[in-house]
Each structure stands twice: as structure tokens, then as C-alpha cells.
Structure 1
Amino acid sequence: MDIRKIDDTISVSPQITYGDVAEAARLGFRTLVANRPDHEEFGQPAMADIEAAARENGMTWVYMPVESGNVTDADVDRFGAMIRDSEKPVLAFCRTGTRCTMLWALNAARTTPARELLSKASSAGYDMSGLAPRMAQQSENQK
């Protein structure tokens, strides 16, 4: 499992397996978020299995699928509400972790300077520089 810490409230990961969930719980994650649609790719673990493992390990499960390459403002809104309301720390996963990082960055851009967010994402191994114009738009929309 390749967990990448963004900040104290959220970490992201590429696809996890049923067996990874117990380790995530042991590491202290309280909420597990799937941003990957079930059956997005052949051979991907079933979300129902991962959900069962989350519940078995005392974690809150959130299934919030987002289509790869099509992160909408509604997706960002839902993600932001989930982060605000979830027990932390949160572990979000998708195919590579990029989608989760995009959702986090676009939501956080509403209240935090983009350069700070780009730095955090980069430290976690994700280049979000291509999102800078959209992050600026998110910030402007909050004024």
C-alpha cells in the first residue's frame, strides 16, 4: 500500500485491496473514501469487499466515485463536505491517487493559497500545477 500524506486530515493512495484496509485502520485512519467507480478497470477489487473490510475494522466507509478526467464542481463540493464532516484522518483512494488529490486541491483552493496546495501535493508525489487556473477560479468563486 502506497499511502501519501497530504496533510494531517487527509492522505491519498492508489488502489487498495481488501487486505490493505486492516493496515490502514492500524495506522489510525478513521474514514476510508473510494473515489474510483466500481468496475472502472478489469481486475480491480470490488468496492463491496473493501467496504466490508472498512466496516470490519471500525472505519467509516464513503463511496464517492468520480469519473477519471471529469472532476466536476459538484464532485469538489461533495468531497469538501465529506472532508469537513468525516472523522479524521481520512484515507482516500482511486486508481493512482491523482483524482483524490485533485478533489482535495480544488476544494482547498477555496480557502488556501494555491502555491501552498501545490507544494503539499508535490510533497506527496502529485503534480497539480496543471490545475492552477481552475484552483484560481475556485478561489475567486468564494469571494
Structure 2
Amino acid sequence: MDIRRIDDTISVAPQLSVDDIAEAAKLGFRTLVANRPDGEEAGQPAMADIEAAARENGMEWVYLPVESGNILNNDVDRFDAMIREVEKPVLAFCRSGTRCTVLWALSSARSKPAQDIVSKARNAGYDIGGLAPRMAEQAQKKS
């Protein structure tokens, strides 16, 4: 399991297996967020199985699927509302962790400086510098 901490409230990871969920709960994560559509790729674990494991391990489950390479403003709105309401810390996953990081970055741009967001993402291993125009757009939507 390759968990990458962005800040105290959220970490991201590539695709998790059902067996990873108990370990994530032991690490203290309170909410598990899936940003990957069910059945996106052959051999991917079923979201229902991951949801069951999350609930069995006392974690809140949020299924917020987003199409890779096509993150819409509506997706950012839903992520922003979710991240403010769920119990922290959050572990979000998708195929590589990038989608989760982009959703976090765009929603965070509504309340945090872009430079801080880019730095935190870079420290977690994600280069989101190309999101600057979209982050500036999101900054106009203060949350």
C-alpha cells in the first residue's frame, strides 16, 4: 500500500485492495474515499467489496467516482462538500492517486494559496503545476 500524505486531513493512494483496508484503519484513517469508477479496469477490486471492508473496519465510506482526465467543476464541488463534512483523516484512492490529488487541489484552491497546494502535492509525489489556471478559477469560488 502506497499511502502519500498531503496534509493532516488527507492522504491519497493508488488502487487499494480489500486486504489494505484493515491496515488503513489501523493507521487511523476514519474515512475512505473512492474516486475511481467501479470496473474502470479489468482486475480492479469491486467497490462493493472495498466498501464492505471499510465498514467492517469502522471507516466511513464515500464513493465519488470521477472519470480519469475529465474532472469537471461539478466533481470538484462534490469533493469540496464531502471533504468538509467527513471525519478526518481521509484516505482517498483512485488508479494512481493523481485524480484524488487533483480533486483535493482544486477544492483547496477555494480557501488556500495555490503555492501551498502545489508544494503539498509535490511533497506527496504529484506534479500539479499545470493546474494553475483551474486553481485560479476555483479561488473565485471561496468555500
What TM-score, normalized to structure 1? 0.98
**Residue 62 of structure 2: SS of its match in structure 1?**
strand
Matching residue of 1:114? 114
Matching residue of 2:35? 35
Matching residue of 2:62? 62
Q: Give the total of aligned pairs.
A: 143
**Residue 49 of structure 2: SS of its match in structure 1?**
helix
| Aligned-residue CA RMSD (Å) | 1.0
**Match runs of 1:57-136 below 5 Å:** 57-136=57-136
Matching residue of 1:142? 142
Partners of 1:127 and 1:121 in 2: how far apart?
7
Partners of 2:16 and 2:54 in 1: how far apart?
11
Matching residue of 1:10? 10
Alignment gaps of 5+ in structure 2 = none
**Residue 33 of structure 1: SS of its match in structure 2?**
strand
Question: Which residue identity lines up with residue 63 of structure 1 in the other structure?
Answer: Y
Moved over 2 A (4+): 140-143
CA deviation after TM superposition for structure 1 residue 111, in Å: 1.0
Question: Which residue identity lines up with residue 95 of structure 2 in the other structure?
Answer: R
Question: Which residue identity lines up with residue 8 of structure 1 in the other structure?
Answer: D
Alignment gaps of 5+ in structure 1 = none
What TM-score, normalized to structure 2? 0.98
